[in-house]
Amino acid sequence: MDYKSIEVKDNYIVLKDAANFQLQHIFECGQCFRWNRVSENDFIGVAYGRVIELVKEENDVIIYNSDEKDFYNIWQEYFDLNRDYSKIKNNLSHDPLLKEAVDFGYGIRILKQEPFEIVNSFIISANNRIPLIKRAIENISKRWGTPLEYKAQTYYAFPTPDQLVAAEEQELEACGLGFRAKYVKDTVNKIYNSLQGVEGFEQYNIYDMARLGADGCHNALQLFSGIGPKVADCIMLFSMDKISAFPVDVWVKRAMMHFYLAPDVSLKKIRDFGRDKFGEEAGFAQQYLFYYARENNIQIGD
Ligand code: 8HG
Protein backbone atom coordinates (compact mmCIF):
# COMPACT_ATOMS: atom_id res chain seq x y z
CA MET A 1 0.00 0.00 0.00
CA ASP A 2 1.40 3.36 -1.03
CA TYR A 3 -0.19 5.62 1.60
CA LYS A 4 -0.38 5.59 5.37
CA SER A 5 -3.94 6.67 6.10
CA ILE A 6 -6.69 9.01 4.98
CA GLU A 7 -8.16 12.00 6.75
CA VAL A 8 -11.75 12.78 5.87
CA LYS A 9 -12.56 16.50 5.74
CA ASP A 10 -15.48 18.57 4.60
CA ASN A 11 -15.64 17.86 0.81
CA TYR A 12 -12.04 16.64 0.61
CA ILE A 13 -9.80 13.77 1.57
CA VAL A 14 -6.16 13.88 2.61
CA LEU A 15 -3.95 10.94 1.68
CA LYS A 16 -1.23 10.93 4.29
CA ASP A 17 2.30 9.99 3.25
CA ALA A 18 1.49 9.09 -0.34
CA ALA A 19 4.53 7.28 -1.75
CA ASN A 20 5.50 7.08 -5.44
CA PHE A 21 2.91 9.71 -6.32
CA GLN A 22 3.88 12.69 -8.50
CA LEU A 23 0.98 14.44 -10.18
CA GLN A 24 2.94 15.50 -13.24
CA HIS A 25 4.32 12.00 -13.76
CA ILE A 26 0.92 10.35 -13.39
CA PHE A 27 -1.08 12.73 -15.53
CA GLU A 28 1.50 13.56 -18.21
CA CYS A 29 2.92 10.09 -18.85
CA GLY A 30 0.47 9.42 -21.71
CA GLN A 31 -2.09 7.14 -20.08
CA CYS A 32 -4.94 9.63 -19.62
CA PHE A 33 -6.49 12.52 -21.52
CA ARG A 34 -8.89 14.24 -19.12
CA TRP A 35 -6.48 15.79 -16.63
CA ASN A 36 -5.30 19.37 -16.85
CA ARG A 37 -2.51 21.08 -15.03
CA VAL A 38 -3.25 24.09 -12.83
CA SER A 39 0.33 24.12 -11.56
CA GLU A 40 3.07 21.57 -11.02
CA ASN A 41 1.39 20.22 -7.90
CA ASP A 42 -2.23 20.89 -8.77
CA PHE A 43 -4.30 19.08 -11.44
CA ILE A 44 -8.05 18.99 -12.18
CA GLY A 45 -9.56 16.00 -13.93
CA VAL A 46 -12.77 14.21 -14.82
CA ALA A 47 -13.20 10.47 -14.27
CA TYR A 48 -16.05 8.12 -13.35
CA GLY A 49 -18.62 10.90 -13.69
CA ARG A 50 -16.86 13.15 -11.20
CA VAL A 51 -14.58 16.14 -11.32
CA ILE A 52 -11.84 16.17 -8.72
CA GLU A 53 -8.81 18.32 -8.00
CA LEU A 54 -5.55 16.86 -6.71
CA VAL A 55 -3.02 18.96 -4.83
CA LYS A 56 0.29 17.61 -3.60
CA GLU A 57 1.51 19.16 -0.36
CA GLU A 58 4.83 17.74 0.80
CA ASN A 59 4.15 14.02 1.24
CA ASP A 60 0.37 14.31 1.29
CA VAL A 61 -2.06 14.34 -1.61
CA ILE A 62 -5.34 16.20 -1.19
CA ILE A 63 -8.35 15.03 -3.22
CA TYR A 64 -10.79 17.93 -3.43
CA ASN A 65 -14.48 17.56 -4.25
CA SER A 66 -14.57 14.04 -2.84
CA ASP A 67 -15.72 12.13 0.20
CA GLU A 68 -14.87 8.92 2.01
CA LYS A 69 -17.38 6.85 0.05
CA ASP A 70 -15.97 7.88 -3.34
CA PHE A 71 -12.47 7.34 -2.04
CA TYR A 72 -13.12 3.71 -1.17
CA ASN A 73 -15.47 3.05 -4.10
CA ILE A 74 -13.47 4.77 -6.82
CA TRP A 75 -10.25 6.62 -6.09
CA GLN A 76 -8.40 4.02 -4.10
CA GLU A 77 -8.50 1.68 -7.08
CA TYR A 78 -8.30 4.41 -9.73
CA PHE A 79 -4.97 5.58 -8.32
CA ASP A 80 -3.81 1.99 -7.80
CA LEU A 81 -3.08 2.81 -4.17
CA ASN A 82 -2.95 -0.75 -2.94
CA ARG A 83 0.05 -1.49 -5.08
CA ASP A 84 3.59 -1.09 -3.80
CA TYR A 85 5.38 0.82 -6.55
CA SER A 86 8.68 0.80 -4.64
CA LYS A 87 8.80 -2.93 -5.15
CA ILE A 88 8.06 -2.64 -8.88
CA LYS A 89 10.63 0.12 -9.35
CA ASN A 90 13.17 -1.91 -7.44
CA ASN A 91 12.63 -4.95 -9.64
CA LEU A 92 12.79 -2.93 -12.84
CA SER A 93 15.86 -1.01 -11.65
CA HIS A 94 17.99 -4.16 -11.55
CA ASP A 95 18.34 -3.36 -15.21
CA PRO A 96 20.67 -0.31 -15.18
CA LEU A 97 19.24 0.99 -18.45
CA LEU A 98 15.64 0.84 -17.35
CA LYS A 99 16.71 2.41 -14.03
CA GLU A 100 17.36 5.65 -15.87
CA ALA A 101 13.75 5.76 -17.08
CA VAL A 102 12.38 4.71 -13.68
CA ASP A 103 14.39 7.42 -11.90
CA PHE A 104 13.06 9.97 -14.37
CA GLY A 105 9.36 9.07 -13.92
CA TYR A 106 9.63 7.96 -10.28
CA GLY A 107 6.12 9.15 -9.36
CA ILE A 108 4.20 7.34 -12.11
CA ARG A 109 1.22 5.16 -11.19
CA ILE A 110 -0.96 3.31 -13.69
CA LEU A 111 -4.52 4.57 -13.40
CA LYS A 112 -7.41 2.11 -13.50
CA GLN A 113 -9.72 3.99 -15.84
CA GLU A 114 -13.29 3.42 -17.01
CA PRO A 115 -13.32 0.81 -19.85
CA PHE A 116 -15.91 2.47 -22.14
CA GLU A 117 -14.06 5.78 -22.00
CA ILE A 118 -10.68 4.14 -22.56
CA VAL A 119 -11.79 1.93 -25.46
CA ASN A 120 -13.03 4.99 -27.34
CA SER A 121 -10.17 7.24 -26.27
CA PHE A 122 -7.55 4.84 -27.57
CA ILE A 123 -9.41 4.26 -30.83
CA ILE A 124 -9.13 8.03 -31.22
CA SER A 125 -5.42 7.85 -30.30
CA ALA A 126 -4.46 5.82 -33.39
CA ASN A 127 -2.08 7.80 -35.61
CA ASN A 128 -2.88 10.88 -33.57
CA ARG A 129 -1.08 13.32 -31.28
CA ILE A 130 -1.91 13.74 -27.61
CA PRO A 131 -3.14 17.39 -27.73
CA LEU A 132 -5.50 16.50 -30.59
CA ILE A 133 -6.68 13.33 -28.84
CA LYS A 134 -7.46 15.39 -25.72
CA ARG A 135 -9.40 17.95 -27.74
CA ALA A 136 -11.49 15.32 -29.54
CA ILE A 137 -12.39 13.58 -26.26
CA GLU A 138 -13.27 16.92 -24.69
CA ASN A 139 -15.57 17.74 -27.65
CA ILE A 140 -17.35 14.39 -27.35
CA SER A 141 -17.82 14.87 -23.61
CA LYS A 142 -19.21 18.38 -24.10
CA ARG A 143 -21.65 17.21 -26.74
CA TRP A 144 -23.00 14.01 -25.13
CA GLY A 145 -21.66 13.82 -21.56
CA THR A 146 -23.25 14.90 -18.29
CA PRO A 147 -22.29 18.41 -17.10
CA LEU A 148 -20.53 18.66 -13.74
CA GLU A 149 -19.98 21.83 -11.74
CA TYR A 150 -16.85 22.59 -9.78
CA LYS A 151 -15.66 25.97 -8.52
CA ALA A 152 -18.19 27.80 -10.72
CA GLN A 153 -16.95 26.05 -13.85
CA THR A 154 -18.65 23.40 -15.96
CA TYR A 155 -16.85 20.15 -16.77
CA TYR A 156 -18.27 17.21 -18.69
CA ALA A 157 -18.15 13.51 -17.91
CA PHE A 158 -17.26 11.18 -20.76
CA PRO A 159 -20.63 9.94 -22.09
CA THR A 160 -22.03 6.56 -21.06
CA PRO A 161 -22.90 3.98 -23.76
CA ASP A 162 -26.56 5.07 -23.53
CA GLN A 163 -25.59 8.66 -24.19
CA LEU A 164 -23.03 8.06 -26.92
CA VAL A 165 -25.12 5.61 -28.91
CA ALA A 166 -27.13 8.64 -30.10
CA ALA A 167 -24.09 10.12 -31.87
CA GLU A 168 -24.06 10.05 -35.67
CA GLU A 169 -20.84 9.37 -37.55
CA GLN A 170 -20.81 12.87 -39.06
CA GLU A 171 -21.27 14.44 -35.63
CA LEU A 172 -18.33 12.44 -34.30
CA GLU A 173 -16.26 13.49 -37.26
CA ALA A 174 -17.06 17.11 -36.47
CA CYS A 175 -15.62 16.54 -32.96
CA GLY A 176 -12.21 16.09 -34.58
CA LEU A 177 -12.14 12.32 -34.97
CA GLY A 178 -11.54 12.25 -38.71
CA PHE A 179 -11.47 8.74 -40.17
CA ARG A 180 -11.79 7.29 -36.65
CA ALA A 181 -15.42 8.45 -36.39
CA LYS A 182 -16.73 5.32 -38.12
CA TYR A 183 -14.73 3.09 -35.76
CA VAL A 184 -16.09 4.82 -32.68
CA LYS A 185 -19.62 4.70 -34.07
CA ASP A 186 -19.35 0.98 -34.80
CA THR A 187 -17.68 0.18 -31.47
CA VAL A 188 -20.25 2.11 -29.43
CA ASN A 189 -23.04 0.26 -31.22
CA LYS A 190 -21.47 -3.12 -30.52
CA ILE A 191 -20.87 -2.34 -26.85
CA TYR A 192 -24.36 -0.91 -26.45
CA ASN A 193 -25.95 -3.98 -28.02
CA SER A 194 -23.91 -6.34 -25.86
CA LEU A 195 -24.94 -4.48 -22.72
CA GLN A 196 -28.58 -4.70 -23.88
CA GLY A 197 -28.18 -8.45 -24.19
CA VAL A 198 -28.82 -8.46 -27.94
CA GLU A 199 -28.12 -11.90 -29.37
CA GLY A 200 -24.91 -12.20 -31.33
CA PHE A 201 -23.18 -9.36 -29.45
CA GLU A 202 -22.05 -11.30 -26.36
CA GLN A 203 -18.38 -11.08 -27.31
CA TYR A 204 -18.43 -7.25 -27.17
CA ASN A 205 -19.05 -6.90 -23.46
CA ILE A 206 -16.01 -4.85 -22.45
CA TYR A 207 -16.96 -5.10 -18.76
CA ASP A 208 -16.53 -8.83 -18.95
CA MET A 209 -13.19 -8.96 -20.74
CA ALA A 210 -10.85 -8.49 -17.80
CA ARG A 211 -11.64 -12.04 -16.68
CA LEU A 212 -10.00 -13.36 -19.84
CA GLY A 213 -6.26 -13.87 -19.63
CA ALA A 214 -3.90 -11.35 -21.17
CA ASP A 215 -3.93 -13.03 -24.58
CA GLY A 216 -7.69 -13.61 -24.53
CA CYS A 217 -8.29 -9.99 -23.68
CA HIS A 218 -5.88 -8.82 -26.41
CA ASN A 219 -7.75 -10.92 -28.99
CA ALA A 220 -11.24 -9.98 -27.79
CA LEU A 221 -10.51 -6.25 -28.05
CA GLN A 222 -9.30 -6.65 -31.61
CA LEU A 223 -12.78 -7.85 -32.63
CA PHE A 224 -13.73 -4.16 -32.72
CA SER A 225 -12.87 -2.23 -35.85
CA GLY A 226 -10.23 0.41 -35.21
CA ILE A 227 -8.48 -1.67 -32.54
CA GLY A 228 -5.17 -3.24 -33.49
CA PRO A 229 -2.53 -4.79 -31.23
CA LYS A 230 -1.14 -1.46 -29.91
CA VAL A 231 -4.52 0.09 -29.09
CA ALA A 232 -5.66 -3.21 -27.50
CA ASP A 233 -2.58 -3.23 -25.27
CA CYS A 234 -3.25 0.35 -24.14
CA ILE A 235 -6.89 -0.46 -23.31
CA MET A 236 -5.94 -3.61 -21.37
CA LEU A 237 -3.27 -1.85 -19.39
CA PHE A 238 -5.17 1.34 -18.59
CA SER A 239 -8.64 -0.05 -17.85
CA MET A 240 -8.53 -3.83 -17.43
CA ASP A 241 -5.74 -4.41 -14.95
CA LYS A 242 -3.58 -6.31 -17.43
CA ILE A 243 -0.20 -5.13 -16.20
CA SER A 244 1.79 -7.43 -18.45
CA ALA A 245 0.55 -5.57 -21.56
CA PHE A 246 3.31 -3.87 -23.51
CA PRO A 247 1.90 -1.30 -25.96
CA VAL A 248 4.49 -0.35 -28.55
CA ASP A 249 4.00 2.99 -30.24
CA VAL A 250 6.72 5.04 -31.88
CA TRP A 251 8.02 6.38 -28.51
CA VAL A 252 8.35 2.96 -26.91
CA LYS A 253 9.96 1.70 -30.09
CA ARG A 254 12.50 4.51 -29.97
CA ALA A 255 13.14 3.93 -26.27
CA MET A 256 13.69 0.21 -26.83
CA MET A 257 16.11 0.95 -29.65
CA HIS A 258 17.82 3.67 -27.61
CA PHE A 259 18.33 1.46 -24.56
CA TYR A 260 18.46 -2.04 -25.89
CA LEU A 261 19.28 -1.68 -29.53
CA ALA A 262 16.33 -3.92 -30.20
CA PRO A 263 16.84 -4.24 -33.90
CA ASP A 264 14.75 -1.91 -36.02
CA VAL A 265 12.07 -4.46 -36.69
CA SER A 266 8.29 -4.62 -36.54
CA LEU A 267 6.31 -3.33 -33.56
CA LYS A 268 5.20 -6.93 -33.01
CA LYS A 269 8.81 -8.08 -32.55
CA ILE A 270 9.47 -5.24 -30.11
CA ARG A 271 6.29 -6.17 -28.22
CA ASP A 272 7.49 -9.79 -27.90
CA PHE A 273 10.97 -8.62 -26.92
CA GLY A 274 9.55 -6.32 -24.20
CA ARG A 275 7.15 -8.89 -22.78
CA ASP A 276 9.91 -11.43 -22.73
CA LYS A 277 12.36 -9.08 -21.06
CA PHE A 278 10.06 -7.48 -18.47
CA GLY A 279 7.61 -10.33 -17.87
CA GLU A 280 4.60 -9.83 -15.60
CA GLU A 281 5.42 -6.18 -14.99
CA ALA A 282 6.01 -5.19 -18.61
CA GLY A 283 3.21 -2.61 -18.53
CA PHE A 284 5.02 -0.56 -15.91
CA ALA A 285 8.33 -0.77 -17.77
CA GLN A 286 6.49 0.44 -20.89
CA GLN A 287 5.08 3.48 -19.05
CA TYR A 288 8.44 4.61 -17.64
CA LEU A 289 9.92 4.19 -21.13
CA PHE A 290 7.09 6.04 -22.90
CA TYR A 291 7.33 9.01 -20.49
CA TYR A 292 11.13 9.12 -20.66
CA ALA A 293 11.23 8.96 -24.47
CA ARG A 294 8.50 11.53 -25.01
CA GLU A 295 9.70 14.07 -22.42
CA ASN A 296 13.28 13.84 -23.65
CA ASN A 297 12.21 13.71 -27.29
CA ILE A 298 14.63 10.88 -27.93
CA GLN A 299 15.40 10.04 -31.51
CA ILE A 300 17.00 6.95 -32.93
CA GLY A 301 20.75 7.31 -32.76
CA ASP A 302 20.74 9.35 -29.51
O1 8HG B 1 0.84 5.50 -22.56
C2 8HG B 1 0.99 5.24 -23.75
N3 8HG B 1 1.77 4.22 -24.14
C4 8HG B 1 1.96 3.93 -25.46
N5 8HG B 1 2.77 2.93 -25.77
N6 8HG B 1 1.37 4.64 -26.43
C7 8HG B 1 0.58 5.64 -26.07
C8 8HG B 1 0.36 5.99 -24.74
N9 8HG B 1 -0.45 7.07 -24.71
C10 8HG B 1 -0.71 7.41 -25.98
O11 8HG B 1 -1.41 8.37 -26.33
N12 8HG B 1 -0.11 6.53 -26.81
C13 8HG B 1 -0.07 6.54 -28.25
O14 8HG B 1 1.06 7.33 -28.62
C15 8HG B 1 -1.24 7.10 -28.94
C16 8HG B 1 -0.63 7.84 -30.13
O17 8HG B 1 -0.45 6.94 -31.21
C18 8HG B 1 0.72 8.25 -29.67
C19 8HG B 1 0.77 9.67 -29.17
O20 8HG B 1 2.08 10.04 -28.92
Question: Hey, is 148 helix, strand or coil?
Answer: strand
**Cβ of residue 233 lying under 6 Å from some atom of ligand 1:** no
Q: What are phi and psi of 5, to 5 degrees?
A: -165, 170
H or E element: which one contains 61?
Answer: strand 60-64
Q: What is the pLDDT of residue 302?
A: 59
Specify if 157 maps to a domain. yes
Ligand 1 pocket: which of 29, 110, 113, 125 to mutate (most atoms within 8 A of CB):
125
Contact 233, 275 (CB under 8 A): no
Residue-range definition of the domain harbouring residue 265: 250-295
* Whether residue 160 sits in one domain with residue 215: yes
User: What pLDDT is recorded for position 51?
Assistant: 98
Put simply, whether the predicted model's pTM sits higher than 0.75 gets the answer yes
Expressed in angstroms and rounded, the spacing between residue 118 Cα and the centre of ligand 1 is 12
Task: Answer for the pair 65, 152: CB distance below 8 angstroms, yes or no.
Answer: no
Dihedral class, residue 241 (left if φ above 0, else alpha if ψ from -120 to 50, else beta): left
> Total domain count for the chain?
3
Return phi, psi of residue 106, to 5°: -60, -20
End-to-end CA distance of the chain: 37
- Give the closest residue (by CA) to ligand 1 atom 6: 249
Ligand 1 pocket, residue 128 CB under 6 Å: yes
Amino acid letter for position 27:
F
We report the CATH number of the domain holding residue 48 as 3.30.310.260
Cβ neighbours for 197, distance < 8 A, ≥ 6 positions apart: none
Beta bridge partners of 50: 47
Q: Does ligand 1 come within 6 angstroms of the Cβ of 252? A: yes
In the prediction, which pLDDT does 65 show? 98
Q: Are residues 201 and 138 in the same domain?
A: yes
The rounded Å distance from CA 297 to ligand 1 centre is 14
The tens place of each residue's pLDDT in the chain, 302 residues long, gives 999 999 999 999 999 999 999 999 999 999 999 999 999 999 999 999 999 999 999 999 999 999 999 999 999 999 999 999 999 999 999 998 899 999 999 999 999 999 999 999 999 999 999 999 999 999 999 999 999 999 999 999 999 999 999 999 999 999 999 999 999 999 999 999 999 999 999 999 999 999 999 999 999 999 999 999 999 999 999 999 999 999 999 999 999 988 887 777 888 999 999 999 999 999 999 999 999 999 999 887 65
Asked whether residue 40 is assigned to any structural domain, the reply reads: yes
